[in-house]
Amino acid sequence: MNLTKREFMQVLGAGTMAGMGLGRYARADAATAEAGLYDIPKFGNVSFLHMTDCHAQLKPIYFREPSINLGIGSMKGKLPHLVGEHLLKVSNIRPGTAEAHALTYLDYEQAAKRYGKVGGFAHLATLVKRMKASRPGALLLDGGDTWQGSGTALWTNGQDMVDACKLLGVDVMTGHWEFTLGMARVLEIIEKDFADKVDFVAQNVKTNDFGDPVFKPYVIREINGVPCAIIGQAFPYTPIANPRYMVADWAFGIQDDNMQKMVDEARGKGAQVVVVLSHNGMDVDLKMASRVSGIDAIMGGHTHDGMPVASVISNQGGKTLVTNAGSNSKFLGVLDFEVKDKKVTDFRYKLLPVFANMLPADAEMDALITKIRAPYEDKLNEKLAVTEGTLYRRGNFNGTGDQLLVDALMEVQGADIAFSPGFRWGTTLLPGQAITREWLLDMTATTYSYATLNDMKGSDIKTVLEDVCDNLFNPDPYYQQGGDMVRVGGLQYSCSPLQSMGKRITDMRLNGKPIDADKTYKVAGWAPVAEEARNQGNQQVWEVVETWLAARGGKVSTRKLNAPKILGALPNPGYAA
């Protein structure tokens, strides 16, 4: 894509557009605020709508954005590694507005009460219909992590989300957590439910034996007479971050060379616009954009970064836009292209937050959700306790929701230390809200959520922490896997993100005493990727936590975060804890 100086200035000033002058709507009623937030003028002749990482959240939720999203090395101070006021400043969004609440943790509890819940497929459907009505021919792209993340998705084997996405009008999708349903189930959905309706694309998934493509690498769709290619990029580290046995016959990877081949092939077939629908994670997308030419935009997911402005990355062929549309059906990205003389000449990008109080529920989608949930409502709504403090997950090192999990694992299983995976999905509860089974499953529902208890030497504990820390803070994005740091209960430690592998974790202590490298400790955890774990008869993690909640007397006190001491990396505009 070729951008003129004027267009570059448009990108740099995109925050003004992102803010949409919402200051005057900040204290308006829902109808007036809605008019300011969702009235986006049509631009150009080719439009893409983008959702990603909804994690099976069909109903409106609360979701707190992170206060820690550290960027190190060349990424320090750059998107997506900005939080709070720093993110708002770059995006030119006024604090206290609806968008400021959607994008940041600032004044979270007060703002959440004021603006209400976000997301929900019935409200998202209303917004999608509006955007498609104002942008004839627009395609809805789903970046994946759609069929996992809730009790109903687990119990229906993803069918609830498949049905909802078909009704929503998804045109093209790629995947990640979808693969944890197993190869047979994924193929069954694509061949039966998606046939002639939704294209599942992934250029980087091949068979292990002969290297044949498992899925279509791309599709070419016409939008208002303009041939547009959508190339899929599934999560490249699926067999590492998730159980290998679930995708035993398939090979993944980043595969820049094949991506370039697919771009060139699509261009050779007449594509005038090339968009990559990616689940790489934003840092990986930014690097890919600098290495592969001929891509007009990478619309990304996986790292749950709600980005109100597009990043513009230079490469040998010109420039590529990189966007990311957050998570939990909380946002809808809208990318408009002006295409003239068979090439992109200009663009507009807007990230729209989905506020349930500002968007009426679509009746047809609402009826489907009611039908889907009906057999499970009593089980989902069972009250397990009431939380006295905010429970959230998102953040590089820990969240109060995961603190609850590790506290429960240690106490119920008699462990010295507990680990909870650095998953970025999971919803938020405000003080005084009920901890229901639904919320607990929102935090834990996978197809391999077995609770574990193992004897580990101190040296092995350090190895685990070093390995996960390298996945998060390796200076080369291609060696990052996009999750957050493993959450730790019981153990205190220091973390030096700027150090090299093996040197980031220091001063590990248990009850104030240094961890002995040769001593054995009881370590609880959950979601093991080893295949043998599924045959050990272990309880599911939510069963362990329910036992703990039942002993709380109906209330759970505010969780005190067990977070590491950060050395050498502060101050940082991605750190506001």
Q: Is residue 90 part of a domain?
A: no
Is residue 123 domain-shared with residue 51, that is, in the same domain? yes
pLDDT of residue 525: 97
Q: Provide the b/e sequence for 16-33 (b: ≥16 CB within 10 Å).
A: ebbbbebeebbeeebeeb
Is residue 408 domain-shared with residue 332, that is, in the same domain? no
**Structure tokens, 454:** 């193992």
SS3 state of residue 330: coil
Is residue 339 domain-shared with residue 395, that is, in the same domain? no
Residue by residue, DSSP assigns 229-278 as EEEEE--TTHHHHS-GGGGTTEE----HHHHHHHHHHHHHTT-SEEEEEE
Cα separation, 467 vs 419, in Å, equals 14
Is residue 163 domain-shared with residue 264, that is, in the same domain? yes
Cα separation, 290 vs 275, in Å, equals 15
Q: Is residue 303 part of a domain?
A: yes
Cα separation, 510 vs 290, in Å, equals 44
Domain span holding position 521: 384-566
Q: Is residue 288 part of a domain?
A: yes
Q: Does an H or E element contain 337, and which?
A: strand 331-340
Is residue 436 domain-shared with residue 342, that is, in the same domain? no
Q: Is residue 81 part of a domain?
A: no
- Cross-strand pairs, 48: 139, 335
Cα separation, 379 vs 438, in Å, equals 8
Q: Is residue 351 part of a domain?
A: yes
Is residue 305 domain-shared with residue 278, that is, in the same domain? yes
Of the three residues 369, 399, 422, the one that is the final residue of a domain is 369
Is residue 395 domain-shared with residue 527, that is, in the same domain? yes
Is residue 365 domain-shared with residue 389, that is, in the same domain? no
Q: Which residues contact 191 (CB under 8 A, 6 or more apart)?
A: none
Q: Is residue 78 part of a domain?
A: no
Q: What is the pLDDT along the chain (577 residues), one digit of tens a residue?
A: 655 433 433 443 343 333 333 334 444 454 555 557 999 999 999 999 999 999 999 999 999 999 999 999 999 999 999 999 999 999 999 999 999 999 999 999 999 999 999 999 999 999 999 999 999 999 999 999 999 999 999 999 999 999 999 999 999 999 999 999 999 999 999 999 999 999 999 999 999 999 999 999 999 999 999 999 999 999 999 999 999 999 999 999 999 999 999 999 999 999 999 999 999 999 999 999 999 999 999 999 999 999 999 999 999 999 999 999 999 999 999 999 999 999 999 999 999 999 999 999 999 999 999 999 999 999 999 999 999 999 999 999 999 999 999 999 999 999 999 999 999 999 999 999 999 999 999 999 999 999 999 999 999 999 999 999 999 999 999 998 878 999 999 999 999 999 999 999 999 999 999 999 999 999 999 999 999 988 899 999 999 999 999 999 999 999 999 999 999 999 999 999 7
Of the three residues 369, 397, 421, the one that is the final residue of a domain is 369
Cα separation, 394 vs 389, in Å, equals 15
pLDDT in tens, 334-372: 999 999 999 999 999 999 999 999 999 999 999 999 999
Of the three residues 319, 340, 369, the one that is the final residue of a domain is 369
Pair 551, 545: CB distance under 8 Å? no
- Cross-strand pairs, 335: 48, 349
- CATH number of the domain enclosing 550: 3.90.780.10
Residue labelled with tokens 């990008």: 349
Q: Does an H or E element contain 369, and which?
A: helix 363-373
Question: CA nearest 98: which of 175, 183, 33?
Answer: 33
Q: What is the pTM of this model?
A: 0.94
- Cross-strand pairs, 452: 525
Give 11: exposed, middle or buried? Use CB within 10 Å, 0-12, 13-18, 19+. middle
Structural domain count of the chain? 2
- CATH number of the domain enclosing 150: 3.60.21.10
Q: Which residues contact 456 (CB under 8 A, 6 or more apart)?
A: 417, 464, 520, 521, 523
**Structure tokens, 141:** 């792209």
pLDDT of residue 32: 56
Question: CA nearest 252: which of 232, 238, 231?
Answer: 238
Is residue 336 domain-shared with residue 402, that is, in the same domain? no
Q: Is residue 453 part of a domain?
A: yes
Pair 424, 131: CB distance under 8 Å? no
Q: Is residue 72 part of a domain?
A: no
pLDDT of residue 482: 78
Is residue 221 domain-shared with residue 260, that is, in the same domain? yes
Amino acid at 350: K
Give 378: exposed, middle or buried? Use CB within 10 Å, 0-12, 13-18, 19+. exposed
- The packing angle between helices 541-550 and 400-413, to 10°, is 80
Is residue 358 domain-shared with residue 391, that is, in the same domain? no
Is beta strand 226-233 parallel, antiparallel or unpaired with respect to 273-278? parallel
